Structure 1
Amino acid sequence: MSNSKYRKVQSMLHLSVFILAVCLASVSCTKKIDINIPETAQQLVVEGNIEIDKPPVVLLSKSQNFFGNININNLSSYYVHDAKITVKSGSDSVQLVEFCLNNLPLSDEQKKELLSSYGFDMDDSVPLPNVCIYSIPDLFSCILNGNCSMFGKANTTYDLKIEAEGKTLTSTTTIPTPRGANYLEVRPRPDSIPNDSFVSVFVNITVPDTFGNFVRYWTKRNKEPFYLPASQSVWDDRLFVGLNISLPMERGYPKGQKVDIKNYSYFLKGDTVTLKWANIDSKTYDFYYTLENDGSGSPFSNPVKVKSNIIGDGLGVWAGFGAKYYTIIVPK
């Protein structure tokens, strides 16, 4: 076969392959496909923590199917009641008791503020869900006058055991010695304009010269009732071992709240900003790092498996926080 004929045949083959590919693509795009997604087994979900000078708190709920429907009206059905939960440290042990929102001595407005800190956008027309937690029996006297049957201590390990719905879950966490920050400072934000009302707040830290230091942080502005974590709230020391550095501090928002992307993470002139800065152990870091980098539900992001430190038929986190607090008033 001559070169010219060979090139013609080759061109025809290429064209045929292209047409075939287009036809297949057209068929595949219009064909109806039914996917049967199996239901996943329901698991217990744990969100528990203990902080220096504060009692242990555990929120226990049940998981739902990935495409399941959960809303404010059926939220209460996901909480697990009548669980036996024990926290132990050395020879000290306490069995936690259940406290539910309906029984707390709070006004409806205070309850709404509490729920908003966990991402619930409460509408006045919707009844308040009866959110429940487990904590020490003398919780209120602990809060009011500091008399606690158990509270967190630095450099101490705490074992958690949960018995509920025929399942047993366990976990262990350590409250590291808090290293803390050096100071907070206010700087103009990077894209600052004349008479800009927004500023950046930086935290200055001295990182130890040994690996294995992990931090989680929260912020609170003015009269906000609760400390709120940033969207990327955990740091490790891999890039900063042995350094003195200042890092930008992202403002925390309630989960699910709509934010102004242009001014996201910044603070306002005149704000009173309080930072909660907590050293955490490696497993606590792994949980929050993977949780906060799960793609935020985007179908185009790579899936990330959240690293739970709960052992047994459950998932979630049991975290120890070696926290310190710092406040700065942003000049007007």
Structure 2
Amino acid sequence: MRNPLMIIVAAVVCLLACEKDISVNLQQQEEMLVVEGKFESNRYPQVILTHSLGYFSHIDPAILLASFVHKAVVTVSDSTRTMTLREAVVNVQGLGNIFAYIPDTSIPFAAFKGKPGNKYTLRINADNKSYESVTTIPQTGFQVDSIWWKLVRVDDSIRARLYARITDPPELGNYARYFTRRNSDPFLSSLNSTLDDQVVNGTTFEILVDAGIERNKRNINLDTASLFNKGDTVTFKFCNIDKATFSFWRAIDFAYNSNGNPFSSPIKVQGNVPGALGYWGGYQVTYRRIIVKK
């Protein structure tokens, strides 16, 4: 009788003998403009412009700093007015100083804030190319009725889950994205930050509000990342958005959650700035605040 172990060893040797080095020539993608533009209700717009980086590019702070696009001409218009955004150094909580295009509020009548129900056109001229995108700050949409918390035990500690009760109007086609802020931390989105009314149209329903996470961090504990601690002051930022903004962020969430999963379906992140990557989005914002008692 043959020794089974020897058969396995012989099979492994044969496989090793058949190994062949394979070189894959990955095509370099053309550098593209990346737009991250938002216009919230009762706030001024902000547009961040960068150049895209290769998927396998080495990334460090110097490379990220060099990716910002300078000296672009950026304007935002409604049906009657146009404001020019100027490049400035903006401090973003959690990120530090970055370059962004914002209106010059020191000049009277040179800037205007976002208003629900209005449509806004973003125009960009950068690197001798022109780009244009349109977004709307919704007039109506989901309404946040209330928020509350419940204590749960996880990892031998007591934490809290946050819930919200929301009412959807009878008209189909409402979209939203939400953020949370813990104490004085920055507003962060959760792993699944978007919702629509395809299933809940015209009803009052409850959602589980996951805590926002810092997506640049590694080794996130998914068992506790969505929870809050006793004593936290939580600010819930709920935003009604248009369909294009919803589709962009839903795809981003899906891509992030499926990263590294060999069984997930491929997805293309569809922005709403033709010729560029990214998005220009309007947000109708509502805030709610709650304290998780100790």
TM-score by length of 1: 0.78
Root mean square deviation, CA, Å: 2.6
Verify: 1:49 aligned to 2:9, yes or no: no
Alignment match, 1:183:
146
Alignment match, 2:5:
none
Change (3 A) 1:58 1:29: farther
SS at match of 1:294: helix
Structure 1 residue 305 displacement after superposition: 0.2
Verify: 1:79 aligned to 2:39, yes or no: no
Alignment match, 2:265:
302
Which of 145, 150, 160 is equivalent to 1:199? 160
Alignment match, 2:179:
218
Alignment match, 1:137:
104
Alignment match, 2:8:
none
Alignment match, 1:319:
281
Superposed CA deviations along residues 32-61 of structure 1, whole A, max 9, x for unmatched, are 000111100000000001011100100000
TM-score by length of 2: 0.88
Question: 1:274-293, aligned counterparts within 5 Å?
Answer: 274-293=235-254
How far apart, CA to CA, are the structure 2 residues paired with 1:279 and 1:153?
Answer: 13
Structure 1 residue 188 displacement after superposition: 2.9
Change (3 A) 1:249 1:96: same
SS at match of 1:217: strand
Superposed CA deviations along residues 51-107 of structure 1, whole A, max 9, x for unmatched, are 111001000000011211121122111000000001000111001000025xxxxxx
SS at match of 1:285: helix
Change (3 A) 1:87 1:30: same
Counterpart contact for 1:49–1:58, Cα < 8 Å: yes
One-letter code of the match for 2:137? Answer: I
Counterpart contact for 2:121–2:135, Cα < 8 Å: yes
Percent sequence identity over matched residues? 30
Superposed CA deviations along residues 193-240 of structure 1, whole A, max 9, x for unmatched, are 69952011101001222320100000011121x211112111111121
How far apart, CA to CA, are the structure 2 residues paired with 1:262 and 1:238?
Answer: 29
Verify: 1:152 aligned to 2:114, yes or no: yes
Query: Which runs of 5 or more residues in structure 2 are unaligned?
Result: 1-10
Structure 1 residue 253 displacement after superposition: 1.8
SS at match of 2:271: coil
Structure 1 residue 162 displacement after superposition: 0.3
How far apart, CA to CA, are the structure 2 residues paired with 1:26 and 1:274?
Answer: 58
One-letter code of the match for 2:51? Answer: K
Structure 1 segments of 4+ aligned residues over 3 angstroms from their partners: 193-196
Bigger share in strand: 2
Structure 1 residue 323 displacement after superposition: 0.5
SS at match of 2:223: helix
Alignment match, 1:67:
56
How far apart, CA to CA, are the structure 2 residues paired with 1:195 and 1:289?
Answer: 33
SS at match of 1:286: helix
SS at match of 1:182: strand
Counterpart contact for 1:94–1:136, Cα < 8 Å: yes
Change (3 A) 1:187 1:94: same
Alignment match, 1:124:
none
How far apart, CA to CA, are the structure 2 residues paired with 1:184 and 1:262?
Answer: 22
Structure 1 residue 168 displacement after superposition: 0.8
Bigger share in helix: 1
Structure 1 residue 320 displacement after superposition: 0.1
Alignment match, 1:235:
195
Which of 121, 124, 127 is equivalent to 1:165? 127
Counterpart contact for 1:180–1:323, Cα < 8 Å: no
Counterpart contact for 1:295–1:303, Cα < 8 Å: no
Change (3 A) 1:216 1:151: same
SS at match of 2:189: strand
Superposed CA deviations along residues 114-141 of structure 1, whole A, max 9, x for unmatched, are 362x5xxxxxxxxx7x620001011xx5
Superposed CA deviations along residues 287-311 of structure 1, whole A, max 9, x for unmatched, are 0011111155316133210011001
How far apart, CA to CA, are the structure 1 residues paired with 2:36 and 2:54?
Answer: 18
